[in-house]
Amino acid sequence: MINTPITGSALWGALSAIAGFLTDKVGVPVVRGSRPSTDLRSIFLPKLPDTSMTWSEVIKVIAFLYHEAAHILWTTHDGEALTPLERSIRGKLEDIRIELKAIGTFPAASKYLGDLVRMLTEEGMSESPKGIYFSPLSQEQTEVEVLQWYLLYRLRHDVLKQTGIAPVLASAEAAVAAKLPSGMRTRLDGLMFQITDCESTADVVSLTREIVKMIAEEKEKAEEKAKQDNDAKPPQADQQQQAAGNGDASGDGDGDSDGEQQASGQPGADEGTDDSQSASSQDPSDSGSDGGDPSGDSATDGASAGSGEDAAANAEALSRLLEMSDEDVVGDLGDMLKQAVDAVSESSNGGGTSLPNIHKLPLKQQPVDMNGIRGSINAVRTKTLNWMSSAAQSEVTHERRGMMIDPTQLYRYRLGGDIFVEETEGVDLNAAIAIVIDRSGSMSMCIVEAAKAAVATMLAFDVPGIKTQVSVFPVYDAAGDEGVAIVKRWDETSRSLASRMGSLGVQGGTPMAEAILSASATLLPRTESLKLVMVVTDGDPSDLEATHDVITKARAAGIAVTGVGIGVDPSEVFGERHAATLASIDELSSVMVRLVKSAIVHH
C-alpha cells in the first residue's frame, strides 16, 4: 500500500487540501520555499512532483505539514543556552507535547502521524532499510544512542499511542536495561511521563533540566558507591594470608604480586561474596523496567550494582551521557521528515506548479464608487440567488415511460401523452466562492472595473449559506518574491474590504496558475456543496499551459473554475462554458447568472 502510486488530481487534491486547511482554518501559512523548513510563523514547502508520488511519500509530506504546524502553534523559543544532552531531551519531549496537542485538535493528524510511525518501523525492521526509518537497537550501541532512542520510542508508544512502533520499542527496552543503571532508569521513567502535564515549551525545558539533574545525581551516587566499595575492600595480600592460615600482617611480598594481578583484572585467590555480587548485578535480567530492589534504597541508587567495579562502570556510563557532544545528538522526527521531503522534492525535477507565498498587501481606506454599483449588487443578488434557489428545488416532469403514473394525466393516455412522473432531485446549495483579482501591469486600464466587479459580487453574495474570499495577484515582498495576498478571508466581513478596494493598484506579471492553485487549496477542505473560483482578469496568464493544468486538476477535485474577462474574452483560458466578458458593470448580473449556472450544472 505505501508504495502504491497516487497520481493526478487525487495527489494534488490530497496535498492541497491539507495545505489549504492549515493556511485558512488554522492560520499556519504553507508557502513556497527552496527547502522544507519553518520559521515558527510559516511552513516552507519545496516544489513536489504533481504527477505521481507513492503513498509513502504523500504520508511523509502530510506528516511533515502537521508536525511543523504543531510547532508553529505551540512551540516557543526563549533563547536559553542548552547543552547537547539538554537539547536532545528537550527536542524529544517537545515533539511529544506538540503532537499530543495536534492529535487532540486535528483528527486527521492522528492518522497521518500514526501511519508515518508504523511505516518507519516496518521499514526499519526490513532486511535492507533505506531512507528514514526506526530500527531496532542492539546492546552494542552507546549509552548516548540508547537513551535518545528509548525516549523517542517509549513516549511515542505510551503517550501518543502510536503502537506501530512496538517492534523496535522492545529492543530499546532491552538495550537500556543493559546499558544504564536500574535506579537511573526508574527515575527516568518517573520523570519523562510528566510530559503529559507540560503546558508550554518552558515547562518542557524545566522537565528536561530535572532529567539532566537526575542523571548527574545518579552519577554522583555511583561514584560515591564505587569509592565506598573500594575503601571497604581488604588488601589482597591479607586475603591470601588469611586463606593460608598465616596471621602475619606484614606478609612476605607475594601479596603485592597477587595484588597487581587483581588490579589488572585477573581473578584473585578469594572468590567470595564480592565476586558473586558483581556477577549478579551485571546480569540485565536482574534489572527490570521498574528497577532496583524494592526492599531498600537501591531502587533510587545510581550504583545499583554491588561491586565497586560495577558502580565505577555506571559512573562512567552516566558521565558519557552528561558529556555528549553535538555530533552525538539524534535528530528529532521533524529533522527526519525534512530529509524525507527534501528527497521527494528532488524527484520533481522542477516540474509542476508550486503554491505561491502569501504576502501582505496594505490597502488604504478608499472605497469604490458605491453609487455606480448598488444597482448591480441588487441585480446580481436577485437574479443569481433566484436561479440558485430554483436549482435547489426538486423538479417534476412527465415522461412516456417510468415507474409511477400520475393519475391526473390519465386522460392523455389515448392521445399518447406523457403520464409517468419523473422527479429530478434538486441540489442542496450552499457555496464557497473564492474571488481572485488580477492586478498585473496589463490590467492598468481596467483595474477600477475589476475592483467594482469583485466588490459587487462579494456584497451580492453576502447572504446566509454563501461564503466568500478575495485574493489578489501578484504581490511582492521586500525581497521581490512573487506571491499572492488574501485581502478578505472567509469569515471576515465584506464591507471592511469594500471600504478599501478603491486603492487597489497594479504591479508585475500574471502568475495566474499559482493564484488559482492558492485559491483552490483554501477551497478543498471546505464543506460547502459548491466550491467556485472566479478569476477577474484581462485573460493573459504568464504561463497558459501551467494555468490550463491547474484548472484541469482543480475541476477534477470538484472545484468549478470560471473567468470574468474585463473587456476581453477569457474563454481561451477557462473554456467557453466557464468564461464571460464584462464590458460594463451593468452587465454583471447576467454574467454572474451564466457563470454560476455553468458551475452548478457541471458540478
Q: How confident is the model at residue 139 (pLDDT cuts 50, 70, 90)?
A: confident
What's the mean pLDDT when you consider all of the chain? 81
Asked if 532 and 434 touch (Cβ cutoff 8 Å), the reply is yes
Closest CA to 507 of 536, 535, 483, 533: 483
Strand arrangement of the beta sheet that strand 37-38 belongs to: 30-32, 43-45, 37-38
Closest CA to 298 of 225, 231, 230: 225
Q: How confident is the model at residue 190 (pLDDT cuts 50, 70, 90)?
A: very high
Residue 261 pLDDT > 60, yes or no? no
**What is 13-56 written as a DSSP string?**
HHHHHHHHIIIIII---EEE-SSSEE-SS-EEE----SSEEEHH
Write the single-letter amino acid at 139. Answer: Q
Asked if 441 and 538 touch (Cβ cutoff 8 Å), the reply is no
Q: What is the pLDDT of residue 160?
A: 97
pTM metric for this prediction: 0.66
Closest CA to 391 of 420, 419, 421, 431: 431
Q: What is the pLDDT of residue 406?
A: 60
Q: Between residues 387 and 168, which one has the greater pLDDT? A: 168
Least confident stretch, 340-349, 454-463, 472-481 = 340-349
Q: What is the pLDDT of residue 205?
A: 96
Calpha distance 66→112 (Å, rounded)? 8
pLDDT tens per residue across span 387-408: 676 655 445 555 666 666 666 6
Contacting residues for 533 by C-beta, under 8 A, at least 6 apart: 434, 436, 516, 519, 520, 523, 554, 559, 560, 561, 562
Residue 491 pLDDT > 70, yes or no? yes
3-state secondary structure of 487: strand
pLDDT tens per residue across span 274-304: 443 333 334 433 433 444 443 334 434 444 4
Residue 385 pLDDT > 80, yes or no? no
Q: Which DSSP symbol is given to 235? A: P
Residue 273 pLDDT > 90, yes or no? no
Closest CA to 473 of 437, 523, 502: 437
Domain edges within the chain? 5-202+330-344, 370-387+427-601, 396-424
pLDDT tens per residue across span 407-462: 666 656 556 666 565 555 444 568 999 999 999 999 999 999 999 999 999 999 99
Asked if 146 and 137 touch (Cβ cutoff 8 Å), the reply is yes
Asked if 463 and 492 touch (Cβ cutoff 8 Å), the reply is no
Least confident stretch, 14-18, 170-174, 516-520 = 14-18
Q: Between residues 266 and 363, which one has the greater pLDDT? A: 363
DSSP H stretches of helix in 347-392: 374-391
Q: How confident is the model at residue 526 (pLDDT cuts 50, 70, 90)?
A: confident
Closest CA to 458 of 438, 435, 439: 435
Percentage of the residues of the chain whose pLDDT score is greater than 70:
76
Asked if 184 and 318 touch (Cβ cutoff 8 Å), the reply is yes
State in Å, rounded, how far the first CA of the chain is from the last one.
Answer: 31
Residues counted in the chain: 603
Geometric angle at alpha carbon 477, from 472 and 480, rounded to 5°? 110
Q: How confident is the model at residue 203 (pLDDT cuts 50, 70, 90)?
A: very high
Contacting residues for 290 by C-beta, under 8 A, at least 6 apart: 186, 299
Query: What angle, 0 to 180 degrees and rounded to 10, lies between the N-to-C axes of helices 55-74 and 8-20?
Result: 10
Q: What is the pLDDT of residue 597?
A: 83
Calpha distance 275→427 (Å, rounded)? 85
Q: Between residues 192 and 270, which one has the greater pLDDT? A: 192
Helices and strands: H and E segment counts in the chain: 20, 13
Q: Between residues 3 and 176, which one has the greater pLDDT? A: 176
Q: What is the pLDDT of residue 539?
A: 83
Calpha distance 537→90 (Å, rounded)? 51
Percentage of the residues of the chain whose pLDDT score is greater than 90:
49
Q: Which DSSP symbol is given to 405? A: B
Asked if 260 and 155 touch (Cβ cutoff 8 Å), the reply is no
Q: What is the pLDDT of residue 252?
A: 44
The C-alpha cell of 319 is what?
558521565
Q: If residue 398 lies in a helix (H) or strand (E), which one and from where to where?
A: strand 395-399
Q: What share of the chain is helix, strand, coil (3-state, %, to 5)?
A: 55, 10, 35
Q: Which DSSP symbol is given to 356? A: P
- Could you tell me which residues are beta bridge partners of residue 484? 358
- Could you tell me which residues are beta bridge partners of residue 423? 396
Calpha distance 564→333 (Å, rounded)? 46
Cα 145 from chain centroid (whole Å): 26
Of 71-85, 195-209, 220-234, 254-268, where does the model show the most confidence? 195-209
Least confident stretch, 196-205, 363-372, 571-580 = 363-372
CATH of the domain spanning 370-387+427-601 = 3.40.50.410
Contacting residues for 558 by C-beta, under 8 A, at least 6 apart: 531, 603
